[in-house]
Chain A
């Protein structure tokens, strides 16, 4: 079937709404891109990109944010996959409660979260009724701050990661697959690694992508915890520069798209692997 005849089969109003929706997203992006190309008067070029990429701080903050995002994703997978799996398998009655908890980051602003973290973890952890310190205040040293900020990002990414994983597990009927693997002699480790994880791969990648996007652009937690991440860097840059922030914003979009492309490539463009029905 030719492209033209395929297009003719698309209902008229569906096409109109799709185009309007696409324009709503694409036009601001194009405007940003166009603006980022006009750093030099009367010249269309990539000067803003050159300047932005040449800044040492850009590479440092961006690299650091990628590190934080990667750690957040790894820790989230370690926490969320077994949790979602166990809830589906053995604790279905806890599902509503957990879903409610995963929605809390939408209701509680990041500023509340970060002040809570600072208030709790800026004091040392002592042995009760003594002055003997077990753990120094986490906010006082870099490793501790990293733990705090990754923990905070895990909370922010929780709704996306949990829901993606949970939806993925619903699609493949994890309960029956688990029982089938058990009857064939598989251990829990084998079941999770060889049966469950490969079948929720797409869901994991989607959740990971969203978490990555959130972490790389996040400003509040990073600013208040005083870490030099990409979000605060971009924010500060925007205070006294015009073209470079536009160039970097557009670059972040490209990176996100590249990540989506990788997902499509890895999963063969088929989305979730076909279920067991």
Chain B
């Protein structure tokens, strides 16, 4: 059942269109991430849901109720900010209970809810501490508890982990996801970190220059990007221009080298120029596996990345990166070696623009 709906949302700042024709239905309990580079409109969209910005066009509904013009304080939407935004003059418990006291809930209920939230975020012993006495990760957990304490219809998270160091980021994102699942709350998460979005979300909305580029599950976004932007932004990717050679067989001509694809040529005709994308990990050396595309190559460069080794190969005139797991018992090729690489036809993605 649709819980949050954004219908044809646009936002203009003077002549600048920050968000254009944004349509999204979010189910109850779903975790949706807005992913994109700085200035793509993801935070503006989130702020419109929160009520800090009013859309220039369009409608926002929660549970069917139009909230487009409602004040932020009337929306019952919880928000977690990048800078935590805890009230420095209040203790952790007072921060968490703030929204409930605003709602004039009985003090007994407030205390009970605060204790519950402190337990959920594993900070029972910090109730009387002030924000400045906590680490960044702890402060953000308190901010999360504060936003959840009011039992919001929707939880909004605006790059909540950006100010934290890498290790805490990973553990806290798992914690956020676990809490969200446990409480069954609808969540919208803004991030520019693709790994974060892929790991935490039910669905991802990839945004670019105020527009939605693609909406899909992390699996779909990563494996089947539909636009050049998504393909480039999510994960690392090889892209190149080719010409459609045979529509029926899905054959593509890359400067005289034939590549087979599984999809995307149906609405094309012979001779059309298209852009294709192949993930580095979809390539293998021919000796390991036989696949649809077997291509002669020369090894140009080898980069050790820890768990992965990135090998740059030249196929015809085009350079491709291929990733292989680091296996100390397998010998790597040497720079200048002539070899063959393969990839399945499903790995060759034809991009829509």
Main secondary structure on chain A at its contact with chain B? Answer: helix
Chain A residue contacts of B77, Cβ below 8 A: 183
CA distance A275 to B163 in the complex (A): 15
Chain B, residues 240-253, CB within 8 Å of chain A (1/0): the string is: 00000000000000
Nearest-neighbor residue (CB-CB) of A177 within chain B: B85
B98 & A274 in contact (Cβ 8 Å cutoff): no
B103 & A176 in contact (Cβ 8 Å cutoff): no
The answer to the question of B91 belonging to the interface, with a C-beta cut-off of 8 Å to chain A, is no
- Ordered by A's residue number, 7 sampled pairs between the chains whose C-beta atoms are within 8 Å are A173-B85, A179-B79, A180-B81, A183-B72, A183-B73, A186-B98, A201-B89
Chain B residue contacts of A128, Cβ below 8 A: none
The answer to the question of B328 belonging to the interface, with a C-beta cut-off of 8 Å to chain A, is no
CA distance A148 to B78 in the complex (A): 48
B73 & A176 in contact (Cβ 8 Å cutoff): no
| Additional 18 contacts, C-beta under 8 A, given A199-B88, A273-B132 | A173-B85, A176-B81, A176-B83, A176-B85, A179-B79, A179-B85, A180-B79, A180-B81, A180-B143, A182-B71, A183-B72, A184-B73, A184-B99, A190-B102, A195-B89, A274-B88, A274-B131, A277-B83
How many chain B residues touch A (Cβ–Cβ < 8 Å)? 33
Chain B, residues 120-154, CB within 8 Å of chain A (1/0): the string is: 00000000001110000000000100110010000
- Say how far B252's CB is from chain A's closest CB, in angstroms: 50
The answer to the question of A63 belonging to the interface, with a C-beta cut-off of 8 Å to chain B, is no
Nearest-neighbor residue (CB-CB) of B47 within chain A: A179
CA distance A22 to B52 in the complex (A): 50
The answer to the question of B87 belonging to the interface, with a C-beta cut-off of 8 Å to chain A, is yes
Chain A residue contacts of B84, Cβ below 8 A: 276-277
A273 & B85 in contact (Cβ 8 Å cutoff): no
Chain B, residues 63-107, CB within 8 Å of chain A (1/0): the string is: 000000001111111110101111111000000001100110000
B73 & A173 in contact (Cβ 8 Å cutoff): no
How many chain A residues touch B (Cβ–Cβ < 8 Å)? 23
The answer to the question of A185 belonging to the interface, with a C-beta cut-off of 8 Å to chain B, is yes
Chain A residue contacts of B83, Cβ below 8 A: 173, 176, 276-277
Chain A, residues 239-277, CB within 8 Å of chain B (1/0): the string is: 000000000000000000000000000000000011111
- Contacts known (A173-B83, A277-B83); A182 close to B89, Cβ less than 8 A: no
- Say how far B8's CB is from chain A's closest CB, in angstroms: 24
The answer to the question of B322 belonging to the interface, with a C-beta cut-off of 8 Å to chain A, is no
B79 & A276 in contact (Cβ 8 Å cutoff): no
A180 & B85 in contact (Cβ 8 Å cutoff): yes
Chain B residue contacts of A182, Cβ below 8 A: 51-52, 71-73
- Say how far B60's CB is from chain A's closest CB, in angstroms: 15
The answer to the question of A172 belonging to the interface, with a C-beta cut-off of 8 Å to chain B, is yes
Nearest-neighbor residue (CB-CB) of B75 within chain A: A183
- Give the residues from 209 to 233 in chain B that come closer than 8 angstroms, CB to CB, to chain A: none
The answer to the question of B206 belonging to the interface, with a C-beta cut-off of 8 Å to chain A, is no
Nearest-neighbor residue (CB-CB) of B146 within chain A: A184
- Say how far B99's CB is from chain A's closest CB, in angstroms: 4
Chain A residue contacts of B81, Cβ below 8 A: 176, 179-180
In the complex, which of the residues A177, A185, A198 has the most CB atoms of chain B within 10 Å of its own CB atom?
A185
Nearest-neighbor residue (CB-CB) of A273 within chain B: B88
The answer to the question of B117 belonging to the interface, with a C-beta cut-off of 8 Å to chain A, is no
The answer to the question of B35 belonging to the interface, with a C-beta cut-off of 8 Å to chain A, is no
The answer to the question of B50 belonging to the interface, with a C-beta cut-off of 8 Å to chain A, is yes
Nearest-neighbor residue (CB-CB) of B84 within chain A: A276
B99 & A198 in contact (Cβ 8 Å cutoff): no
CA distance A198 to B88 in the complex (A): 9
CA distance A177 to B51 in the complex (A): 15
A185 & B103 in contact (Cβ 8 Å cutoff): yes
Chain A residue contacts of B86, Cβ below 8 A: 180, 276
CA distance A187 to B52 in the complex (A): 14
- Say how far A101's CB is from chain B's closest CB, in angstroms: 27
Chain B residue contacts of A186, Cβ below 8 A: 73, 98, 102
Nearest-neighbor residue (CB-CB) of A272 within chain B: B88
B102 & A274 in contact (Cβ 8 Å cutoff): no
